[in-house]
Structure 1
Amino acid sequence: MGISLLAALCLAVPATAQEAGAAGTLPSAPAAGSAVATEAQAPAQAPAVITLDEAIRRAETADPTYAGAVAANQVSAADRTIARSAFLPSVRYFNQYLFTQSAHLPAKDQAALAQSGVTPAPAYIANNSVHEYMSQAQVTETVGLGVFAQYKRAGAAAIQASAEQEAARRALVVHVVNLYFSLLAADRKEAVAQRATDEASHFHDLTERLETAGEVAHADVVKAELQLEEKQRALSDATLAASRARLDLGVLLFPDPRTGYQLAETEAKLPAVPERADVQAAAEKNNPDLRSALAAADAANLDVKAAWAAYLPDLTLNYNYGIDAEQFAVNGRDGVHNLAYSTSVTLDIPVWDWFATQAHVRQAKAMRDVARTQLTNTQRALIAELDEFYDEARAASVQLSSLDQSTGGARKSLELTNLRYKAGEATVLEVVDAQNTLATAEAAQADGMVRYRAALASLLTLTGVLAQ
C-alpha cells in the first residue's frame, strides 16, 4: 500500500478531459514522462491572462448559486405566463365516440324498429343514442376576482425573482473581486517574501565577509543566519498561500482549477471612493434587496385578495360548436344538419365550506404581516449598510495612502541602515529590524489594497456600479 492517495486518484481518473466529464471524475494531471513528450512535440502554450471582467463572466457561468437564481427567475416568468392564461379564453378541439347498449325491447318492437330504420333508444337515460359522435371546438372563459389576483401575484413574484437574481449577481461579483485581488495580493506577498529572502541571504553573506575581515563579531553572522531561516519559512508560507488563492479563484474560472493562468495587471491608480450623495441615490434606486422586499409585500397583499375572492362567485362562459350526432357527418339522415352550437353560462356562488376560506384568509394575512416586517427590516438594513460600507471604503482609502507612505519610508530606512551597517555605525539588530519593518509594511500594503477593493465591491451590492 505504498501508493499515496493522490497517486491513486490520478490513476483512477480517465485519460482525457472529455472522458473525465462523462465519468463525473476529476481530470488527471499528465505524468512527468508524458509532459516531456508533449513539450517535445509542440511548444507549451502561454497561460491565459484573466482580467477582472473576464473572471466575472466566467464565474457567472460556473457558480451554482447564481445559476439557481437565474433558473428561479425563468420559472417565475413562466408562472406569470401560466397565470395570465387562466383569465384568457381557452380553446380546445374535443373529439369523442360513445357506444351505449340499446334498451331491451320485445322482439316484435325490435322488428318494427328495424323495418322503419329507427335506431333503438340507449339503455342509459343520460346518453343520447346508441352511437354518438362528438367533434366540437370548445371555448371557455372564467371571470372572477381570484383569477385576476393570482395573475397580479405572479407578476409580483416575477419582479421579486428578477431582483433576487440581480442580488445574487452582485454578491457573486463581490466574491470574485475578493478572490481576484486576494490572489494579486498573495502573489505580491510571495514576491515580497522572495525579495526579503534574497535580501536576508545577501546580508548573511555580507556578515560572513565582514567577520572574515575581522570587522564584526560572529554573533552578527548567527543573527543574520537566523533571519535568513525565518525569511525562508515566510517564503514557503507565502508560496502556499498564493497557490491556495489561485486554486480558489480557478474553481470559478476553469473546469480544472489547476489550469495555469495569470491575472491582468491592474491600473497603478486605484479608483476613488464615489461621492456619498451619488451612492445614496443609486442605492435608493437600484438596490435589488429593496425591490425584492417590495415585490414580496405586493405578492402578500395579492394573496390576501385571492383568499377573499373565494367568498365571491365565479362566472364561467362556455361555447361549443361542432357535431354531436348519431353519424360522424356534417349532414345526417333526412337532411338533418349536424353542425350546430351550444352555449352555457354558469354562476358558481359559494355558500358553505366549513370555514376553509376563512382559514385561508387568516393564513394570507399572517404571511402579509411577515412580508411587511421583512420590508421594514430591509429598509433599515439598507440605511445601516449604506453608512457601514461607505465608511469602510473611506477608511480603507485613507489607510491605503498611509500604508503607501509607510512602505516608502521603510524602504528608505532599510537602505540607510544598510549603509550605516557597512560603515560600522549600525548594529545587526538594526538591520534585521529594518528588514522586518519593510516586509511587514509591504505585506500590510497588499492587504490594504484588498481591503479597499473589497470595500468598493461591497458598495456594488447597494448601488449596482462596480468601481474599477
Structure 2
Amino acid sequence: MNFSARLWILAALWGFWLSPPSPAQSPPQALTLEDCIRLAESAPSPVRLAKQQSEIANLGLKQTQAAFLPKAQFGSGFTYNSPLKGSSPTQSFVALNGVREYLFLLGTTQELDLSGRLRADKERARAEFDVAQAGETITKRDLKRSVTAAYYRLLLARHVARALRDSAAEAESFEKRTQLLLESGEASQADLAKASAAAAALRHALSEAELDARLANQELASFWTTAVNDPLCVADVFETAPGAGEAGATAGGARPFASRPEFGLLAARKRSFVAESRRIRAELLPQANVNFQYGLDSNFVRGRDHGYAVFVSLNVPVFDWFRTLNASREFRVRAEQTETQRAMAERAFSREYEAAQARVENALEQISRAARHVKLAEQDLHLSRIRFEGGEGPALDAVAAQNQLAQARVNYFTAIAGYWNARTDREVAAGR
C-alpha cells in the first residue's frame, strides 16, 4: 500500500472518530385520546363541512343586513331616433324624447320596510345561522364520540389479544408438559388430547383477537390518515382500573340533560319557522320603495341641463285567494312541530342519561368482580396443574382452569372498556 492510500485511510478514520455520534431514535410518543380527537378534527371530516355550513349561514345573515341599506348605481346611455321628414328637430317615434337623448344618472334605491318583511327576513337568517352553529356543535360532539369509541375499541382489542396470547402460551406450555408426562408414563393419551385441544382453541381465539385488533387500529387511524395499517402507539388508560368513587353523576340537577345542543337546535328552528311565517305574511301588507336619481337626461350634453328626480312607489296587495295566508300558517304549524319534538326529545334524553349512569355504576361493579375472578382463576390454574402433575387430578381440571382464566381476563378488560364507553355516553347525554 503506497503512502497516499495510507494517508486517505488515516484521514477517514480520523473523521469517523471526530464525527459526533448520531442521536438514538426516540420512540414515538403515545397518542392520547385528546390527540386523536385533535387529529380527527384537523383532517377533512363532517366537522369541516359543518363549519363551512355555518360560514354559509353567516354570509346569508350579512346579506339580509345589507337589505336595509340603500343601493346605488350609475347608468349612462345614448339614444338616436331618425327625425320626421320635413321636420328635423322632431323625432319619428312618439315614445322617445328627441332625436338624440343623452343619459348620465347616479341613482339610489331604498325599500321602506313598512310591512316588516326585511326584518322578518333578517330574523330568519339569524335563526338559520343559529341552526348551523348548533349543527356544528352536534357534529363535533358526534365526531368526538366516534373517535372515543374507536380509541377504546383499539385498547380493548389489544388487551384481549394480549390476554389470549398469554393464555395460549400457557396452554402450549401445559401441552408440552403433558407430552413429557405421557412419555414417562405419568399421563394418558386422553390427557394429552385435552391439552392439545385446549391449546388449539386458544390459538384460534388468539388469531381472531389479533385480527380484531388490526381492524380496530384501521378504524381509529382512518379518522385522519390513509395509512391505516401502520400500528398506532396510543396511551393505555386501561392499565389502571377506575375506582368506585368515579361513578358520581355529572352535575345538572333534576334535568342534567337540559344543556344538550339539540335543544338549541330545535329552538333555532322554531325561530326560523316563525320568522318565515312573518316574512310571508308581510306580503299582505303595503310595500314602498323610494328611488332618487341625479344627473343628466337631456337632448344635449350641457352642464346646465343636470337635475334630480325622486320616485316613490307604494304597492298594496288586495286579494290572492288566501295563498299567502295559508303559506304563513304552514310555517306556524312547523314551529308548533318543534315544540312536540322538544317534548319527545326530553323523554328520550332523560332515558339516555339515566341508562348511561346505570351502565357506569354497573361497569364499576363488574370491574371489581372481574378483578377478583382473575385472581381466583390464576390460583385455580396453578393448583390444578400442581394436582395434575402430582397425579392427584385429571387434565380436564387444568384445561378448564386455563379456559376460565382466559375468559376472566377478557371479561376484566371488557368491563373496563364498558366503563369508559358508558362514561362517555353519560357526558354526551349531559350535553358536554
TM-score of Structure 1 vs Structure 2, range by shorter chain: 0.7 to 0.9
Percent of counterpart pairs with the same letter? 23
Distance 1:176 1:327, change over 3 A: farther
**Is 1:53 aligned to 2:49, yes or no?**
no
Task: Describe the shift of the 1:128–1:277 C-alpha distance in structure 2 as closer, same or farther (beyond 3 A).
Answer: farther
Q: For the residues of structure 2 that align with 1:401 and 1:325, how far apart are their CA atoms?
A: 96
The aligned counterpart of 1:182 is: 153
For residues 153 and 285 of structure 2, the distance between their equivalents in structure 1, rounded to whole angstroms, comes to 61
Do the aligned partners of 1:52 and 1:180 also contact (CA within 8 Å) in 2? yes
Aligned to 1:66: 47
Aligned mate of 2:62, from 67, 75, 81: 81
Q: Deviations over 1:260-317 (max 9, x none)?
A: 32212326243823425447665323x1111111111222222222222111112223
Change (3 A) 1:448 1:324: farther
The equivalences for 1:391-406 within 5 A come to 391-406=358-373
**CA apart distance, 1:166:** 0.9
**What's the offset of the Cα at 1:198?**
0.6
User: In the alignment, is the contact (CA less than 8 A) between 2:47 and 2:136 conserved in 1?
Assistant: yes
Q: Which moved more, 1:313-322 or 1:182-191?
A: 313-322
**SS of 1:353's equivalent?**
coil
Tell whether 2:187 aligns with 1:246: no
Partner residue of 1:228?
199
Counterpart for residue 177 of structure 2: 206
Query: Residue type matched to 1:98 in 2?
Result: F
CA contact 1:307–1:364 (8 Å) conserved in 2: no
Q: Which residue of 2 aligns with 1:284?
A: 258
Q: What amino acid is the match of 1:58?
A: L
Match of residue 336 from structure 1:
304
Counterpart check, 1:173 vs 2:144: yes
Which is further off, 362-371 or 348-357?
362-371
Which residue identity is paired with 2:349?
Answer: L
Distance change >3 Å, CA 408–CA 326, structure 1 → 2: farther
The residue identity in structure 2 corresponding to 1:283 is F
Q: 1:206 is paired with a residue of what secondary structure?
A: helix
Q: Mean Cα displacement is larger for which, 254-263 or 161-170?
A: 254-263
Alpha-carbon distance in structure 1 between the residues aligned to 2:51 and 2:344: 25
- 2: CA distance, partners of 1:128 / 1:48: 85
1:136 to 106, 118, 135: 106
Does structure 2 retain, via aligned residues, the 8 Å contact 1:99–1:130?
A: yes
Give the drift of 1:129: 6.2
The 5-angstrom pairing of residues 10-409 of structure 1 reads: 49-62=30-43, 64-86=45-67, 88-106=68-86, 109-110=87-88, 113=89, 120-121=90-91, 123-127=93-97, 130-143=100-113, 144-266=115-237, 268-270=240-242, 272-278=246-252, 283-285=257-259, 287-326=260-299, 332=302, 336=304, 338=306, 340-409=307-376
> In structure 1, what is the Cα distance between the partners aligned to 2:247 and 2:281?
51
**Pairwise CA distance, 1:204:** 0.9
Further displaced range: 354-363 or 266-275: 266-275
Quote the Cα distance in structure 2 between the aligned partners of 1:122 and 1:413.
117
Deviates more, 1:444-453 or 1:199-208: 444-453
CA displacement at 1:149 relative to structure 2: 0.9
Q: Name the SS of the counterpart of 2:223 in structure 1.
A: helix
Deviation of 1:366 after TM superposition, in Å, equals: 3.3
Structure-2 separation of matches of 1:264 and 1:365: 52
Whichever residue aligns with residue 366 of structure 1, its letter is V
Distance 1:282 1:134 in 2: 67
Deviations 1:76-121 (A, max 9, x none): 22221122222x1133232221313144141xx32xx5xxxxxx54
Paired residues in the alignment total 405
2:311 and 2:73 mapped to 1: Cα distance?
17
For structure 2, which runs of at least 5 residues remain unmatched after alignment?
Answer: 1-23
Q: CA deviation at 1:446?
A: 1.9
Match of 1:31 in 2: none
Q: Amino acid of the residue matched to residue 78 of structure 1?
A: L
Q: Which moved more, 1:265-274 or 1:407-416?
A: 265-274
In the TM superposition, residue 337 of structure 1 has moved relative to its aligned partner by: 5.3
Structure-2 change in CA distance of 1:212 and 1:457 (3 Å)? same
CA distance, structure 2, for counterparts of residue 248 and residue 193 of structure 1: 22
Q: How far is the alpha carbon of 1:73 from its aligned partner?
A: 1.9
**Conserved? CA contact 1:186–1:241, under 8 Å:** yes
- Residues 95 and 385 of structure 1: CA distance in aligned 2, closer, same or farther (over 3 Å): same
Aligned partner of 1:12 in structure 2 is: none
Q: Secondary structure at the match of 1:81?
A: helix
Separation of aligned partners in 1, 2:309 and 2:316: 23
2:388 matched to 1:421?
yes
| Structure 1 length-normalised TM | 0.79
- In the alignment, the residues of structure 2 paired with residue 207 and residue 394 of structure 1 have an alpha-carbon distance, to the nearest angstrom, of 44
Alignment gaps of 5+ in structure 1 = 1-42, 114-119
- Alpha-carbon separation, structure 1, partners of 2:44 and 2:387: 55
What's the offset of the Cα at 1:350? 0.8
1:22-63 deviation digits (Å, cap 9, x = unpaired):
xxxxxxxxxxxxxxxxxxxxx999666322112112222446
Q: Residue 94 of structure 1 aligns to which amino acid in structure 2?
A: F
**2:233 alignment partner, SS class:** strand
Distance 1:212 1:380, change over 3 A: same
Note the alpha carbon deviations across 1:225-262, whole angstroms, 9 max, x for none: 11111111111111111111111112113123223322
- TM-score using structure 2 length: 0.86
Q: Which moved more, 1:454-463 or 1:58-67?
A: 58-67
Q: Deviations over 1:371-416 (max 9, x none)?
A: 2322222222222222222222222222222222222222232223
- Residues 424/282 of structure 1: CA separation in 2 closer, same or farther (3 Å cut): same
Aligned AA for 1:261? Answer: L
Farther-moved stretch of structure 1 (193-202 vs 455-464): 455-464
